[in-house]
């Protein structure tokens, strides 16, 4: 997911658990009995111990010197062979050709991915698996141990492989696993002699070298016995916990996307290498398990584990390893048809909304995609500790609790919208990503871009009053513009060379830009052509993999039949300019005397002065609307400049480019047309434009001014009409841009002038909305109330602050604050933040206590953010400290939320950055250096920098620690570019904005 959102550096500093693996017979823990011995006896025992140790070493040496290099598969579960033989030697081969031998077991490899230095993976070094072997099916047995102090798992896997090219080794993936036994057999149960087994740690390969060649087209069985750790890094096969009735309860769950299935079992861990999976999970008899498919049967565990049972699952459809999933827990579930929601028992009542909308969205997608949901069931599980927002595992979707669970009267109404979107996103993946999978991660955007776009359609289908199709602009399009304005952005389809880089592209470009260009394509192709092409693509590629060119080919066929594109033009020609190039264009439109419009494109960059170095061009779909309501469509077809003849009616006042901002580009005009648009906006004239076009004009104008394409006098004049604006999408676009101005000005002597202006814009709307919600209000009015009241309290509007403080105190004074909270759930974050901000330790401690006690995950999120609003530096410092302290009450997946909230506080921004620097090693160890949260910490703690000193300090820190940034490397480079732009902005525009604001008096402008 977004998900999964969105989704790493593997270094020798990765935190590993103590690998004192539990023997399969050691399953019970009880009171230990003690005995005493005399000093003489103790000395004798010690001497005997060392004699035994030396003897053992000699025996091992002799054994390894004489062991024949063959191995017979341990076939108890698969019934292929029951012979035994000497265990195979295992060799670990480092990328620098250092060879180290071990006997029987392979310790977890020390794997480092760096951004530079001698041990880098050179981009010429192929880290893809050889194509001489492909998997056909897996039989996987896993036994996780969830006893306190022994969070490990034992496993064995049999992989049926097919030889596509004669070869003498089998290469697959394994990471952080102890390999006990490896064997290979042919289809006739004959042992294939093994020469050696080794790992290539830089590639995370497990290589089985053979004494004979494998025959092309033949099939073989690869059998591996292994052990691993149920880690606490929220990756691979990991552990999570929750507390109920003062008892800590443990669960085991999975998160494999993108390259972490190899941490749970040896496998061919690439998305195109699909296979069928038959999974068996051992679990304590007082717990349950779930996996991708339905459970076939349950049997007793025969390996001296009387407290355990085996759950055996049906064989899956062909699928990628990253979509395999299983959960062992004591969760309970509720069902609606073939859809079930699983959660911890005390939270199950919060699953009613999800279990209602899940089947509805699923049914909508079956009609939209023209293909029935292919699995017999769908489980959705709320996991207490989860790194992503959600993950689309086929038939078993895992979620972070707040995006699946909703408590009426406690969770905000916006949580309903959030849940609908995340559920819709993950269900869209069941077709786009699971049924048809990208052949390699460079086309990740085919997964995430489509799921992000289609989620708006799915959410709209179940709750149309939220106006999701309009909200796409401020949720996705404008957000992607921000990142894509940087030179350090990347193409949607990007080459990736190691797992670090794979996880690095789970960002706004793959998700939001991907979704935005798909939305653009749907508009220029037309709904019918787009829909038919999509259906054909999925049906032709189902249960397989695809590249973006496969989709372009199908859509081109449909477009040629309907003549929806210019003659001789293919979808690939157009879309390659959007997927293979970085950035996006700004289209400058100039009106000509003969009713034509001249259009010029150039790449939009945060620093306009850098544009002369970039001659990137795109196929830009142009839509023109004039004041006479005439619309003209044209193409700016991969050329710098074109003129659209007869684009306007005679005597039109203004014209607008990019109607409803369906195209992925910004628009600039000559000042005269900007002024005419502004005049139309003032009064009540803005209603002639759609809310999405009003949002477009606001966002374009303010960003054009930031980059120097338009004067701030013009851009800020566009915002004056907001005193009469009541549509959420337009206000949200404005507030997103005002947030940047707020962050740049908040530490300056003229911030008061900014506060006066913004307060004047929203004062009437604030009074109209009020704190109290009316019955059956339009959902977008609820969103407006949340945004406007939050902005008013943030700016210190007296009435807002007083009401917030009073409501918070009433809550504190209630007889049972954990059960009696009458604060509007939609306004709780603002109320809590405001009261904590003007309060002291008592208010903070009260909120912290509520955080620890609440059973509602959405409430925990709100409280976590609000706790960062304190103005006491020592409290904020302590809060940051607690965020990286084990057992403090703050879960690992919430550390990024804490840092973001502290960084958003003007008092806390410098604290967060200094804390990041001084505790860098602790943070990396606590999160794991491959955690995507690290990127978030880097981005949020530097976002407000706007001085040369701050830029130099971060650049120096980054250079010193660059090898340790791992997955956060690209984020750091983007942050540097952004804060350098902030610094230039302060030098270029600060004074002109102050001058403009000084002209504002009592809500009116002079001149």
Beta strands, E only, 187-294: 194-200, 205-214, 219-229, 236-244, 247-255, 276-284, 288-291
Burial of 16 (0-12, 13-18, 19+ CB in 10 A): middle
* Active site annotation includes 426: yes
Do 373 and 362 touch, CB atoms closer than 8 A? Answer: yes
Backbone phi and psi for residue 873, each to the nearest 5 degrees, phi listed first:
-65, -35
Q: What is the DSSP string of 53-121?
A: HHHHHHHHHHHHHH--S------TTTTS-----PPPEEEEE-TT--EEEEES-BPPP-----SSSTT--
The total of other beta-carbon atoms located within 10 Å of residue 489's CB is: 23
Q: Residue ranges per domain, the chain? A: 585-721
Q: What is the pLDDT of residue 932?
A: 81
Catalytic one of 71, 426, 829, 977: 426
Q: What is the pLDDT of residue 561?
A: 83
Q: How confident is the model at residue 503 (pLDDT cuts 50, 70, 90)?
A: confident
Q: Which residues pair with 142 in a beta bridge?
A: 155, 281
Q: What is the DSSP string of 414-481?
A: HHHHHHHHHHHHHHHHTTBTTTEEESSGGGHHHHHHHHHHHHHHHHHHH-GGG-HHHHHIIIIIHHHH
**Segment (H or E) for 753:** helix 751-769
Mean pLDDT of 986-1000: 92
* Mean pLDDT estimate for the chain: 87
Do 322 and 360 touch, CB atoms closer than 8 A? Answer: no
Cα 853 → chain centroid: 28
Residue 88 has pLDDT above 70, yes or no: no
Q: What is the pLDDT of residue 1004?
A: 53
Q: Which residues, in sequence order, are CB contacts of 347 under 8 Å at separation 6+?
A: 382, 401, 405, 855, 856, 857
Instruction: Between 1001 and 164, name the one with better pLDDT.
Output: 164
Q: What is the pLDDT of residue 496?
A: 79
**Weakest mean pLDDT among 47-51, 263-267, 894-898:** 47-51
**Segment (H or E) for 822:** none
Q: What is the pLDDT of residue 609?
A: 72
**β-strand 133-145 against 276-284: which pairing, if any?**
parallel
Do 343 and 407 touch, CB atoms closer than 8 A? Answer: no
Residue 198 has pLDDT above 90, yes or no: yes
Q: How far is 575 from 567, CA to CA, in rounded Å? A: 16
- Specify the CATH architecture of the domain 585-721: Sandwich (2.60)
Q: Which residues, in sequence order, are CB contacts of 291 under 8 Å at separation 6+?
A: 279, 281, 311, 313, 325, 326, 327, 395, 396
pLDDT tens track for 411-454: 999 999 999 999 999 999 999 999 999 999 988 899 999 999 99
Mean pLDDT of 309-328: 97
Token representation of residue 937 = 């910490």
Rg (CA), the chain: 30
pTM of the model: 0.87
Cα-Cα-Cα-Cα torsion 927, 933, 936, 937, nearest 10 degrees, comes to: -10
Q: Which conformational region is residue 395 in: left (phi greater than 0), alpha (psi within -120 to 50 degrees), or beta? A: left
Q: How confident is the model at residue 915 (pLDDT cuts 50, 70, 90)?
A: very high
């Amino acid at each position: 997911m977004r998900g999964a959102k969105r989704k790493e550096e593997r270094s020798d500093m990765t935190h590993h658990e103590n690998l004192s693996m539990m023997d399969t017979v050691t399953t019970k823990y009880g009171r230990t009995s003690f005995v005493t011995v005399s000093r003489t006896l103790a000395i004798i025992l010690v001497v005997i111990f060392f004699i035994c140790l030396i003897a053992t070493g000699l025996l091992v040496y002799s054994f390894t010197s004489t062991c024949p290099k063959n191995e017979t598969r341990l076939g108890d579960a698969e019934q292929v062979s029951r012979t035994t033989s000497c265990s195979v030697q295992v060799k670990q081969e480092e990328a620098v050709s250092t060879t180290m031998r071990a006997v029987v077991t392979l310790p977890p490899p020390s794997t480092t991915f760096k951004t530079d230095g001698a041990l880098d993976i050179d981009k010429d070094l192929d880290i893809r698996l050889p194509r001489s072997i492909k998997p056909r099916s897996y039989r996987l047995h896993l036994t996780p141990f969830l006893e306190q102090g022994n969070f490990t798992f034992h496993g064995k896997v049999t992989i049926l492989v097919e030889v596509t090219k004669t070869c003498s080794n089998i290469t697959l993936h394994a990471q952080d696993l102890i390999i006990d036994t490896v064997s290979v057999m042919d289809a006739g149960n004959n042992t294939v002699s093994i020469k050696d087994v080794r790992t290539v740690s830089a590639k995370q390969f497990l290589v089985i070298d053979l004494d004979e060649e494998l025959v092309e087209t033949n099939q073989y069985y690869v059998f591996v016995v292994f052990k691993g750790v149920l880690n606490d890094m929220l990756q691979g096969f990991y552990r999570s916990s929750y507390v109920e009735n003062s008892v800590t309860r443990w669960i085991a769950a999975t998160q494999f996307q993108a390259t972490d299935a190899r941490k749970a079992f040896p496998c061919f861990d690439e998305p195109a290498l699909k296979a069928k999976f038959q999974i068996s999970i051992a679990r304590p008899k007082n717990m349950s398990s779930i996996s991708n498919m339905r459970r076939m049967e349950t049997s007793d565990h025969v390996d001296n584990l009387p407290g355990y049972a085996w759950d055996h699952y049906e064989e899956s459809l062909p699928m990628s390893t990253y979509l395999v999933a299983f959960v062992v827990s004591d969760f309970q579930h509720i069902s609606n048809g073939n859809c079930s929601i699983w959660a911890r028992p005390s939270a199950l009542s919060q699953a009613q909304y999800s279990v209602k909308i899940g089947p509805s969205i699923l049914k909508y997608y079956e009609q939209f995609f023209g293909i029935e949901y292919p699995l017999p069931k769908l489980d959705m599980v709320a996991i207490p500790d989860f790194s992503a927002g959600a993950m689309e595992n086929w038939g078993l979707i895992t979620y972070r609790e707040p995006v699946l669970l909703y408590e009426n009267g406690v969770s905000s109404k916006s949580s309903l919208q959030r849940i609908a979107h995340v559920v819709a996103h993950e269900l869209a993946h069941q077709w786009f990503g699971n049924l048809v999978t990208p052949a390699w991660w460079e086309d990740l955007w085919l997964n995430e871009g489509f799921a992000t776009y289609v989620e708006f359609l799915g959410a709209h289908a179940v709750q149309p009053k939220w106006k999701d199709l309009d909200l796409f602009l401020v949720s996705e399009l404008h957000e992607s513009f921000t990142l894509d304005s940087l030179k350090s952005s990347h193409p949607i389809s990007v080459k990736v060379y190691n797992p670090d880089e794979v996880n690095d592209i789970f960002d706004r470009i793959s998700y939001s830009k991907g979704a935005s260009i798909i939305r653009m394509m749907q508009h220029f192709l037309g709904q019918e052509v787009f829909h038919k092409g999509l259906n054909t693509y999925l049906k032709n590629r189902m249960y397989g993999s695809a590249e973006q060119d496969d989709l372009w080919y199908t859509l081109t066929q449909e477009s040629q039949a309907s003549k929806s594109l210019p003659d001789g033009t293919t979808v690939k020609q157009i879309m390659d300019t959007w997927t293979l190039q970085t950035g996006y264009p700004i289209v400058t439109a100039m009106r000509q005397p003969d009713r034509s419009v001249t259009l010029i494109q150039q790449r939009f960059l945060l620093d306009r002065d850098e544009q002369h170095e970039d001659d990137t061009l795109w196929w830009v779909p142009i839509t023109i609307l004039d004041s006479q309501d005439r619309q003209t469509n044209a193409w700016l077809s991969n050329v710098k400049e074109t003129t659209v003849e007869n684009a306007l009616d005679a005597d039109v006042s203004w014209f607008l480019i990019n109607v409803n901002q369906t195209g992925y580009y910004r628009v600039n005009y000559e000042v005269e047309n900007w002024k005419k648009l502004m005049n139309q906006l003032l009064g009540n004239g803005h209603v002639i434009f759609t809310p999405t076009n009003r949002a477009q004009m606001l966002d374009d104008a303010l960003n054009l001014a930031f980059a120097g394409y338009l004067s701030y006098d013009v851009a800020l004049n566009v915002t004056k009409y907001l005193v009469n604006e009541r549509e959420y999408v337009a206000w949200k676009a404005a507030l997103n841009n005002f947030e940047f101005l707020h962050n740049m000005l908040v530490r300056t002597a003229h911030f008061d002038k900014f506060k006066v202006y913004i307060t004047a814009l929203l004062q009437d709307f604030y009074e109209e909305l009020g704190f109290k919600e009316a019955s059956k209000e339009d959902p977008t009015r609820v969103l407006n109330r949340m945004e406007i009241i939050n902005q008013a309290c943030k700016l210190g509007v007296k009435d807002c602050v007083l009401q917030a403080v009073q409501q918070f105190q009433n809550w504190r004074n209630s007889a049972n604050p954990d059960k009696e909270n009458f604060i509007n759930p939609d306004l709780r974050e603002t109320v809590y933040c405001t009261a904590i901000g003007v309060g002291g330790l008592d208010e903070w401690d009260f909120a912290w206590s509520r955080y620890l006690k609440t059973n509602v995950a959405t409430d925990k999120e709100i409280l976590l953010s609000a706790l960062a609003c304190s103005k006491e530096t020592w409290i904020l410092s302590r809060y940051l400290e607690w965020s990286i302290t084990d057992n403090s009450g703050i879960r690992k997946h919430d550390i990024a939320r804490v840092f973001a909230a502290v960084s958003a506080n003007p008092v806390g921004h410098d604290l967060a950055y200094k804390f990041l620097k001084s505790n860098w090693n602790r943070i990396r160890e606590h999160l794991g250096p491959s955690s995507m949260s690290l990127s978030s910490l880097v981005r949020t703690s530097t976002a407000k920098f706007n001085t040369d000193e701050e830029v130099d300090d971060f650049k120096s820190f980054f250079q010193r620690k660059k090898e340790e940034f791992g997955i956060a490397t690209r984020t750091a480079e983007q942050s540097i570019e952004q804060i350098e732009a902030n610094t230039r902005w302060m030098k270029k525009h600060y004074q002109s904005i102050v001058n403009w604001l000084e002209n504002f008096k009592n809500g009116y402008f002079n001149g």
